[in-house]
């Protein structure tokens, strides 16, 4: 087969390949980024589904508008205004097949082969998979406890002034994989940079609902007076990832272009689940479910943090996130977490090696640990197994 050039940059996600090895139920896996099955509102979905079929049966089983059903867009606009201080109108939002689709549509309408995308290091590996198909180059910016180092970003933009930098991708809240949250000062600086150098920001808030300490975390989009920010969010972490429901908010013209691009991809997002989600959001059922999920995950995070403190060797450190689904762990430099993965599988425990999340060759001694999809009573045992193999390597 004579494949297109773009397939050269479309590598199979290392994570998916590695995680195939973890299908064995005796392995305690901190690898995948999945919500707990106990977080799904199964009974609620059952009840709403019946009502949707009674009230909107034919429409729910039919093709629908590419932009998504109006009532769901309205319900999301109302909720974003209340919980995220984001104001937008109906022409500035479309429903997508997961927020993953937004990570495909944005480069689809903005990137020519060879253009530049700014990413955090580390960043969400699924975003890299989506971007890679459009053959971009990357400018990778380091992070510290306040998130992306915006000073470094500005220096690199100045240095690369002749290059077409098309957008800056950030996950400012409980980032995947690092769990770091960007400070308000950095968010403001990032927005200033975006305006000064005319580079849009793609703000991905996938984890902002999973917040365990009642912090007030204003999104960059809420400060965005001049439509510099393309904002995406998802119902995957607070309803169901299987529903594949996300959305994007942005400037009207860009949203129109994205709707046209989406039409060529899937015509429309699943109508039945849009109707279900509409009731879930409009009736405030989401507001009852989210606190339950937060409570469940906070407990799991605490168990994992305690176990790391107890078992992990000196010279390792990890983020102590106030939300999200992950803990990012840095081990002593001599440990290569990709090489160690085989030992971990033998010891019946799994994680994701850090290098998979970095486009700049860093992260080799790091690993991402997911705490939401492991039963409480297995978390300590998993960390104990992991600590043992790390100590053996040291
Ligand atoms: C940061 C981030 N963005 C986007 C997504 C895509 O999620 P979905 O397509 O389920 O909305 C994920 C999935 O884990 C993620 O971690």
The answer to whether 174 and 208 have CB atoms below 8 angstroms apart is: yes
Cα–Cα distance measured from residue 276 to residue 299, given in angstroms and rounded to the nearest whole number: 29
Pure H helices in the chain:
14-20, 42-60, 70-84, 98-110, 125-132, 150-159, 184-197, 252-266, 271-282, 285-311, 337-346, 376-393
Q: Among 274, 370, 260, which residue's Cα sits nearest to residue 64? A: 274
In sequence order, what are the beta bridge partners of 121?
Answer: 142
**Of all protein residues, whose CA lies closest to atom 6 belonging to ligand 1?**
100
Ligand 1 lined by 122 (C-beta under 6 Å):
no
Rg of the chain over Cα atoms, rounded to whole angstroms, equals 21
The answer to whether 112 and 92 have CB atoms below 8 angstroms apart is: no
Ligand 1 lined by 370 (C-beta under 6 Å):
no
**Of all protein residues, whose CA lies closest to atom 14 belonging to ligand 1?**
33
Q: 9-17, long-range: CB within 8 Å, 24+ apart, which pairs?
A: 9/132, 9/133, 9/135, 10/129, 10/132, 10/133, 11/129, 11/132, 13/125, 13/126, 13/129, 13/356, 14/125, 14/353, 14/356, 15/125, 15/352, 15/356
- Residue 258: predicted pLDDT: 98
Cα distances (angstroms) measured from residue 380 to each of 305, 385, 386 = 9, 9, 10
Q: How far is the CA of 315 from the centre of ligand 1 (A)?
A: 31
- Residue 220: predicted pLDDT: 98
Grouping H, G, I as helix, E, B as strand and the rest as coil, residue 313 is coil
Cα–Cα distance measured from residue 81 to residue 248, given in angstroms and rounded to the nearest whole number: 14
Cα–Cα distance measured from residue 142 to residue 362, given in angstroms and rounded to the nearest whole number: 10
- Residue 11: predicted pLDDT: 73
Cα distances (angstroms) measured from residue 2 to each of 19, 112, 295 = 30, 21, 52
- Residue 21: predicted pLDDT: 72
Ligand 1 lined by 273 (C-beta under 6 Å):
no
Two structure tokens written together for 112: 């020519």
**Of all protein residues, whose CA lies closest to atom 5 belonging to ligand 1?**
100
Ligand 1 lined by 204 (C-beta under 6 Å):
yes
Grouping H, G, I as helix, E, B as strand and the rest as coil, residue 323 is strand
Q: Which atom of ligand 1 is nearest to the CA of 124?
A: 1
- Residue 15: predicted pLDDT: 66
Q: How far is the CA of 246 from the centre of ligand 1 (A)?
A: 9
- Residue 13: predicted pLDDT: 65
**Of all protein residues, whose CA lies closest to atom 2 belonging to ligand 1?**
206
pLDDT tens string, the chain, 394 residues long: the values are: 999 988 887 776 666 666 777 778 899 999 988 999 999 999 999 999 999 999 999 999 999 999 999 999 999 999 999 999 999 999 999 999 999 999 999 999 999 999 999 999 999 999 999 999 999 999 999 999 999 999 999 999 999 999 999 999 999 999 999 999 999 999 999 999 999 999 999 999 999 999 998 777 899 999 999 999 999 999 999 999 999 999 999 999 999 999 999 999 999 999 999 999 999 999 999 999 999 999 999 999 999 999 999 999 999 999 999 999 999 999 999 999 999 999 999 999 999 999 999 998 899 999 999 999 999 999 999 999 999 999 999 8
The two counts, helices (H) then strands (E), for the chain are 12, 14
The answer to whether 128 and 178 have CB atoms below 8 angstroms apart is: no
Instruction: Please count the residues of the chain.
Output: 394
Cα–Cα distance measured from residue 157 to residue 139, given in angstroms and rounded to the nearest whole number: 9
Burial 344-355 (b: 16+ CB within 10 A, else e): bbebbbbbbbbb
Q: How far is the CA of 90 from the centre of ligand 1 (A)?
A: 23
């Amino acid at each position: 087969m004579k494949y297109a050039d773009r397939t050269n940059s479309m590598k199979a996600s290392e994570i998916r390949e590695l995680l195939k090895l973890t299908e064995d139920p005796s392995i305690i896996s901190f690898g995948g980024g999945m919500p707990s099955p106990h977080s799904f509102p199964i009974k609620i979905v059952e009840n709403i589904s019946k009502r949707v079929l009674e009230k909107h049966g034919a429409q729910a089983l039919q093709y629908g508008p590419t932009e998504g059903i109006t009532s769901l867009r309205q319900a999301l606009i109302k909720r974003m205004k209340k919980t995220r201080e984001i104001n937008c109108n109906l022409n500035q939002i479309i429903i997508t097949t997961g927020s993953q689709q937004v990570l495909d549509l944005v480069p689809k309408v903005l990137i020519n082969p060879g253009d530049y995308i700014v990413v955090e290091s580390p960043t969400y590996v699924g975003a890299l998979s989506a971007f890679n198909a459009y053959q971009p180059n990357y400018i990778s910016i380091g992070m510290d406890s306040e998130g992306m180092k915006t000073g470094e970003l500005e220096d690199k933009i100045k240095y690369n002034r002749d290059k077409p930098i098309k957008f800056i991708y950030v996950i400012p809240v409980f980032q995947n994989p690092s769990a770091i949250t960007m400070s308000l000062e950095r968010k403001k600086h990032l927005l200033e940079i975006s305006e000064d150098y005319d580079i849009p920001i793609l703000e991905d808030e996938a984890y902002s609902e999973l917040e365990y300490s009642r912090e007030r975390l204003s999104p960059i989009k809420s400060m965005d007076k001049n439509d510099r920010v393309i904002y995406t969010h998802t119902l995957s972490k607070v309803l169901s990832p299987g529903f594949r429901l996300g959305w994007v908010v942005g400037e009207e013209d860009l949203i129109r272009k994205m709707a046209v691009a989406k039409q060529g991809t899937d015509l429309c997002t699943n109508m039945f689940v849009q109707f279900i989600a509409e009731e879930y959001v409009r009736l405030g059922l989401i507001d009852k479910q989210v606190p339950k999920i937060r409570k469940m995950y906070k407990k799991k995070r605490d168990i994992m943090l305690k176990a790391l403190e107890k078992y992990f060797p000196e010279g390792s450190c990890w983020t102590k996130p106030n939300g999200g689904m992950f803990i990012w762990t840095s081990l002593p430099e001599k440990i290569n977490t990709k090489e160690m993965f085989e030992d971990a599988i033998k010891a019946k425990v799994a994680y994701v090696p850090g290098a998979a999340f970095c486009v700049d060759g860093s992260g080799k001694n790091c690993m991402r640990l997911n705490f939401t999809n492991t039963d409480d009573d297995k978390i300590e045992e998993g960390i104990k197994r992991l600590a043992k193999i790390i100590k053996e390597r040291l």
